[in-house]
Amino acid sequence: MVTYQYTGTLADIGLGALTPHAPVMRVRPEVEAFAALSARLISAVPVPVTLDPVTGAFSMTLVPSADLTPATGGSAGVDYIIEVGRFEQAIDGTYFAGIDAWKFTAVVGGGNVGDMNGGSLLSVWIGPPWPPLPSLRGLYIDMTPPNAWGVKE
């Protein structure tokens, strides 16, 4: 089974590093899969990705999406999910955790993730506390009993 190098840089809106937010990056296939021609099962358990704390640069070695077949059957091709967890401080001084999740198609030959097909972003906030208003679109997970879930459109 051939693997390729996939790279990228995680940055804020001003293209600066996210070092103050202590980001943690992981990658996983969207679903469990079979790796074509290798008789291997590919788990959807997230794998850590090393993130340069100063520049935000990262690199990961993956099987191309086209070489994966979903364990549930169907045609070949399984997209990957990059998850980035971070911590942020609200105006009142409390901290909240957020997770961003990007979906991308790992093309044969590798390259920069920003150039890959696919692409969606879902912010997940774990609280309370919550981010300051106006509330952002995404999934909000309430950690107070009875652990309610909410989605803000």
Pick the residue with more confidence: 39 or 130? 39
pLDDT, one tens digit per residue, over 110-150 is 988 877 655 444 455 666 666 666 555 555 656 665 544 44
Cβ atoms 96, 127 nearer than 8 A: yes
Q: Is the pLDDT of residue 38 over 50?
A: yes
Whether 46 contacts 26, CB under 8 Å: yes
Instruction: Give the residue from 86, 111, 110, 105 showing the smallest Cα distance to 97.
Output: 86
Please give the pLDDT value at position 113: 85
Q: Above 80 in pLDDT, residue 44?
A: yes
Q: Is 4 exposed, middle or buried (0-12, 13-18, 19+ CB in 10 A)?
A: middle
**DSSP character at residue 17:** -
Number of folded domains that form the chain: 1
Domain boundaries, position 118: 4-152
pLDDT digits (tens, 9 = 90+) for 46-97: 999 998 878 888 999 999 998 998 988 777 788 898 888 876 666 676 666 6
Q: What is the DSSP string of 54-122?
A: TT-EEEEEE--GGGEEETT-SSS---EEEEEEEEEE-TTS-EEEEEEEEEE---TT-EEGGGSS---EE
Residue 80's nearest CA partner among 57, 54, 41, 107 is 107
pLDDT score at 59: 94
Contact 65, 3 (CB under 8 A): no
Residue 27 binned pLDDT confidence (cut-offs 50, 70, 90):
very high
Q: Which residues pair with 140 in a beta bridge?
A: 125, 150
